[in-house]
């Protein structure tokens, strides 16, 4: 009976953590090349330096004081050097450029705890339209347990493998599609409302679109012919 129970427990653990493959890089790897992170060939980069998001990427955030997205633009930009009203400099949270992304609707790190509905830190979701085969992101200042979910299925803690929690740089988290999860459609970091987490250098390899969106309406050849005929008639009548 005990063996059966243990067997069931192991099955549960396996299925719960069986979605996609995780590779982790600790803070000592901060700023290494994309190739070192496993991104070569064709892939997309989102550096969070402007409001526009890269190809087929949507952002959403759910906090205790509101929600935003999914959208292909950010609602606010974060300035790590000057954006903290308490004067803290968060520039160490950038992997590229001068900006990172904060898990708050207003992108203002208040730097202290508050009651529910006040703290405002939230869970973020990155959506990859048409799916991705690999996704990676840098993060910092994760101090309270957070969970990573792919397509809504938990991959376990945000701090695992070579990555430990703490107030500094935490590391780089890579998720690769595998037999259990052939397409990464959403990556959610479900975190505590009192914990600021800073993200940067989101890399992703897109899967080919199986149903590419149809572009602008292009008239069929027959329509052109009809249009030409109508114009021709008008022109002929005006001539007379
Ligand atoms: Ca950046
Ligand atoms: Ca951008
Ligand atoms: Ca924090």
For residue 41, the CA-to-ligand 1 centroid distance in Å is: 21
For residue 6, the CA-to-ligand 2 centroid distance in Å is: 48
pLDDT band at 148 (very low <50, low <70, confident <90, very high): very high
In the chain, alpha helices (H): 2-17, 221-239
- What DSSP designation does 64 have? T
For residue 98, the CA-to-ligand 1 centroid distance in Å is: 6
CATH domain 14-239 topology? Jelly Rolls (2.60.120)
What average pLDDT does this structure show over 32-38? 98
Distance in angstroms (rounded) separating the CA atoms of residues 197 and 192 = 10
Domain locations in the chain as residue ranges: 14-239
Question: What pLDDT is stored for residue 48 in this prediction?
Answer: 98
For residue 44, the CA-to-ligand 3 centroid distance in Å is: 27
57-110, pLDDT tens digit by residue?
999 999 988 999 999 999 999 999 999 988 999 999 999 999 999 999 999 987
What average pLDDT does this structure show over 115-138? 91
Distance in angstroms (rounded) separating the CA atoms of residues 141 and 164 = 10
152-167, pLDDT tens digit by residue?
999 999 999 999 999 9
Average pLDDT of the chain?
84
Using a CB cutoff of 5 Å, list residues around ligand 3, an ion: 141, 143, 195-196
CB 148 within 8 Å of CB 81:
no
pLDDT band at 53 (very low <50, low <70, confident <90, very high): very high
Quick check: 230 pLDDT over 60? no
Q: Hey, what are 22's tokens?
A: 């995780």
């Amino acid at each position: 009976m005990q063996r059966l129970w243990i067997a069931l427990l192991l099955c549960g653990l396996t299925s719960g953590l069986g979605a996609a493959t995780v590779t982790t890089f600790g803070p000592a790897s901060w700023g290494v090349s994309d190739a070192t992170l496993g991104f070569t060939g064709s892939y997309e980069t989102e550096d969070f330096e402007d409001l526009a998001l890269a190809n087929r990427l949507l952002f959403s955030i759910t906090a205790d004081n509101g929600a935003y997205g999914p959208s292909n633009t950010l609602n606010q930009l974060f300035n790590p050097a000057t954006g903290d009203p308490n004067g803290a400099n968060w520039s160490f949270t950038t992997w590229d450029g001068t900006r990172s992304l904060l898990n708050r609707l207003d992108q203002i790190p208040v730097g202290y705890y508050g009651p529910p509905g006040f703290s405002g830190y939230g869970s973020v979701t990155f959506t990859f339209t048409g799916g991705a085969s690999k996704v990676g992101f840098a993060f910092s200042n994760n101090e309270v347990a957070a969970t990573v979910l792919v397509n809504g299925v938990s991959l376990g803690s945000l701090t695992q493998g070579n990555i430990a929690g703490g107030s500094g740089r935490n590391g780089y988290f890579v998720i690769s599609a595998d037999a259990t999860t052939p397409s990464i459609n959403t990556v959610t970091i479900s975190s505590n409302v009192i914990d600021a987490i800073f993200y940067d250098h989101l890399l992703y390899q897109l899967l080919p679109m199986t149903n590419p969106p149809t572009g602008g309406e292009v008239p069929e050849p027959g329509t052109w012919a009809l249009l030409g005929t109508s114009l021709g008639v008008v022109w002929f009548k005006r001539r007379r």
